[in-house]
Amino acid sequence: MQRELGVGPMSPEIIEAIFRYSHYNRTPLMIIASKNQIDHNGGYVNGWNTKQFMDFVKDLKGTYSNSNVMICRDHCGPGFNGIYDTEDTYKTIKTDIENGFDFIHIDFCKHKGARDERLDEAKKAIQYCLKLNPNIVLEIGTDENEGDQFSITNLQEVKEEVEFFTNFCKPKYYVVQTGSLVKEINQVGGFNQEFIERIREFLKSKDIKLKEHNADYFSKDQIETRNGVVDALNIAPQLGALQTMLVLQKCITYGVDFDEFIEEAYNSKKWEKWLHTNKPDNKFLCAVIAGHYNFTTDSYRKIIEQLEAREDIHEFIMDKVMEVIDHYVN
């Protein structure tokens, strides 16, 4: 059974691997770009703004002409890049649509207001999306996934929210907190199956697909458990950590010094929100977690230059990323 999969674009290699896999396996995939990764004013992925990212995507579409990759905005709402002004969210929407994004996930869970205010602001943002492009694909869901094991009593809240949105738009996906949760380089959450099956039944009646975020590091058994219940999965940090570990592995193989990169990744403190049972003094783990936020640093570029002289490190990374994609979709 082939599954719908959204993949985070943490690096040019990961982005190209998505297109390459889709092309050679005739598999539809989604690229899910967060605001801190790629945005109208830049992001940590190759320093690209939205236009620069989409220029790269257009080149890949030419190279991989049989690919079927939807370009998606993940978590479009205030606060996800540290900016709470909704004007910034509207700039993201405008720039995304102008540059050819296919899909926008509107998420106002970080909006500083009561639940009704968050829903009203999300409605305005969706209406703005539809004004700019009536055919834009929409994903809704206003809660961040924190691994909560929801009970059936929450089902009514989900129904009310879905009814609110379907009164004025036709979303394709609804994000549900399934219980999954990524910490460090592990999946530490669960799967609240009874609750999810009840939601799935309701969403199916509305012709809306159920999407699960934080699906990184799933075993085959965990993926199989979701068959017929979860329609689409998103993964992202797993691939950023994978690329970091692959590069460090090759550094060890070829005797390339990586101390400066470890220091820089650690000092970026991008690992802080991901720690679980380990402590900040586990510098190597913290650096692996934070590595992909630092792929534009001089220390990383120096490593890549040295590895390129020994083998095609980019091909090596893409091959391993495609193995992970295959694990999820087949």
- Cβ partners under 8 Å of residue 266, min gap 6: 283, 286, 287, 290
Q: Return the pLDDT at 63.
A: 99
Please report the DSSP string for 312-325 in residue order. Answer: -HHHHHHHHHHHHH
**What mean pLDDT is predicted for residues 24-44?**
98
Q: Return the pLDDT at 82.
A: 87
d(CA 241, CA 293) in angstroms, rounded, equals 10
* Angle subtended at Cα 11 by Cα 144 and Cα 186, rounded to the nearest 5 degrees: 50
**Three-state DSSP string of 24-67:** HHCCEEEEEECCCCCECCCCCCCCCEHHHHHHHHHHHHHHCCCC
- pLDDT per position as a tens digit, 119-149: 999 999 999 999 999 999 999 986 565 555 5
**What mean pLDDT is predicted for residues 3-19?**
98
Q: Return the pLDDT at 144.
A: 62
Per-domain residue ranges for the chain? 4-237, 239-323
- pLDDT per position as a tens digit, 35-80: 999 999 999 999 999 999 999 999 999 999 999 999 999 999 999 9
- pLDDT per position as a tens digit, 156-189: 889 999 999 999 999 999 999 888 999 999 999 9
Provide the percentage of residues in the chain whose pLDDT is more than 90.
89
Residue 110 has pLDDT above 60, yes or no: yes
Residue 107 has pLDDT above 60, yes or no: yes
One-letter amino acid at 135 equals N
Domain 4-237, CATH number (from 3.10.20.90, 3.40.605.10, 3.40.1010.10, 3.20.20.70): 3.20.20.70
CA distances (Å), origin 318, targets 20, 214, 219, 297: 9, 21, 21, 20
| DSSP-assigned beta bridge partners for residue 31 | 7, 71
**Average pLDDT value for the chain:** 95
Residue 154, sorted as left (phi over 0), alpha (psi -120 to 50) or beta, turns out to be: alpha
d(CA 163, CA 323) in angstroms, rounded, equals 39
Q: Return the pLDDT at 143.
A: 55
209 pLDDT band (50/70/90 cuts)?
very high
Q: Return the pLDDT at 150.
A: 54
The bridge status of strand 209-212 relative to strand 173-175 is: parallel
> Of 192-201, 257-266, 281-290, 319-328, which range is least confident?
192-201
